[in-house]
A and B are shown apart, each in its own frame.
Chain A
Amino acid sequence: MHAITLNNLTLGYERHPAVHHLSGVFEPGSMTAVIGPNGSGKSTLLKGITGILRPLGGSIDRGGLKTSQIAYLPQMLEIDRSFPITVLDIVILGLWRDIGIFGGMKRDLWQRVEQALTTVGLEGFEARAISNLSGGQFQRVMFARMLLRDSPVVVLDEPFTSIDAQTTLDLFAVIQRWHIENRTIIAVLHDFDQVRAYFPQTLLLARDLVGWGATDQVLTEANLLLSRRMSEAWDESAAVCEENAA
């Protein structure tokens, strides 16, 4: 199994840190909610973990896992929803590791696709064009595709923002299944009730680390207040970080 270890990690844009000197470990099979105010570096952290963003300082040890083995659902999808493609064609892409660029579909693969569609409640939607789906249905498609990727690490960036209650409930069932299957789950969330209900671990960010541990110990009023005050604005004339130089 693969632990994801952050060593004094600093991530950011144009030398300004968005995540500052963060150290810690996502244990294999752990289920962690990443929370914090807007601009506290949550999405940036996920981009670092998935290898999209290179660290400005420190390092990330993915325990031998390749970044292509991490299933990642970004907050801002780059997907062109008007593209003429069907639900089935998108979901099948989750099998990329099995079929690659040239490979064909075999019978057992078709079965896995059918199962994934059933799991997210989309049976009968195979031939639907993605342009005709609602926001919730589309998120189900994304989850079906992630199911097929069969990744040991699943990274979700605000998967339930602007998604209705029923869809959220159904998709949380999928996340819990991943948890039972001992996959590592890292999810950015804004709803503290959801965090308390589902996530054993919480990481509270405000550019710097506020708290990382068992949810009931991290998600306290004092910590939340602290994180709101710490999450400062971008400082145009910020000096080079002392710790960095050392």
Chain B
Amino acid sequence: MNHFVDFFLSPFSEFIFMRHALVACLALALGCAPVGMLLVLRRMSLMGDALSHAVLPGAALGFLVSGLSLYAMTIGGIIIGLAVALLAGAVARVTALREDASFAALYLISLAAGVLIISMRGTSVDLIHVLFGTILAVDDPALILVASIATITIFTMALIYRPLIVECFDPGFLRSVGGHGATMHFIFLALVVLNLVAGFTALGTLMAVGMLMLPAAAANFWAKQFWSASLAAAIIAMISSYSGLLLSFYMNFPSGPSIILIAGICYVFSVVFGKHGSLYSRHKAGGHLAG
């Protein structure tokens, strides 16, 4: 019994960097859950992916200016991420190109620029750190940053919940009552960028989007309302964070991919065994109802 508890708790009780990483991931899970849920519901899953690449050149610029500094890379990531989101939206609005295509174009440009910028000064180890994160990087300032972003996210979501949901399922109506649909859309994209930036210290820019999308995609199979699905997503993200950190600790795996892989396992499990619309529930459904 003691061994059992030891196995699950001692990494966190003995090592401060594991505690830091765990708290950061739990905070990240809370903020990412509702944002990821909205991305899924708005069929913008791939846009989250695109934006995550858009954060990279910003982080890389910060790295170029001041090395592996949290503040420089964070601010760079936020600025470039928001710029790409704005630019992609603007291109879609002003020209005939659809938003997803303009996002894809801009993210490819950003990714190429980001990798080039890092290779100008850093080593390939640095590149790996930025792309996949390093758990040792989660120090006190990083922790405060992640917690602040999670707090801002949840407060903002609560504040603009109504127009955000309406913009999501009936943009035409929001326009017709003068509900500032474009503003809400941009605030939402800003939240996506913020959460991606929060994720990249621990998970890396490539893996951060996993924390947004995988728990949300899995939660879809467990709950039908937006709020309950968000809650389910947060729980799945927390379980993945904890198990992923354990996995990376004992197996000496990089933390980001470990956490995302566990989230991936949760997703596959949900696809097969989830309560709503999964393979199992569809197969089990059997005969039709009487009325």
What is A's interface to B at a CB cutoff of 8 Å? 50, 52, 66-68, 70-72, 74, 77-80, 83-85, 90, 93, 96-97, 101-102, 129, 145, 149
The answer to whether B224 touches A84 (Cβ under 8 A) is yes
Known: A84-B226, A101-B179. A74 touches B172 (CB 8 A): yes
The answer to whether B163 touches A93 (Cβ under 8 A) is no
23 contacts between A and B (CB under 8 A): A50-B176, A68-B177, A68-B178, A77-B172, A78-B170, A78-B172, A79-B170, A80-B170, A83-B169, A84-B41, A84-B224, A84-B225, A84-B229, A85-B165, A85-B169, A85-B226, A93-B173, A93-B177, A96-B179, A97-B177, A101-B160, A101-B162, A149-B177
Note all chain A residues with C-beta closer than 8 A to B159: 102
Note all chain A residues with C-beta closer than 8 A to B162: 101-102
B41 vs chain A, min Cβ distance (A): 7
The answer to whether A83 touches B168 (Cβ under 8 A) is yes
Question: Which of B163, B170, B175 meets A101, CB within 8 Å?
Answer: B163
Whether B171 sits at the interface, judged by CB under 8 Å, is yes
**A interface footprint on B153-185 (CB within 8 Å = 1, 0 otherwise):** 000000110110110111111011111000000
A54 vs chain B, min Cβ distance (A): 14
Rounded to whole angstroms, the CA-CA distance of A70 and B169 in the bound complex is 20
Rounded to whole angstroms, the CA-CA distance of A83 and B171 in the bound complex is 13
**Top-7 shortest CB links A-B:** A68-B178, A83-B169, A78-B172, A96-B177, A80-B169, A79-B170, A84-B224
Rounded to whole angstroms, the CA-CA distance of A66 and B160 in the bound complex is 24
Rounded to whole angstroms, the CA-CA distance of A71 and B177 in the bound complex is 8
The answer to whether B224 touches A129 (Cβ under 8 A) is yes
The answer to whether A78 touches B226 (Cβ under 8 A) is no
Mark out the residues of chain B between 164 and 210 whose CB falls within 8 Å of any chain A CB in the assembled complex: 165-166, 168-173, 175-179
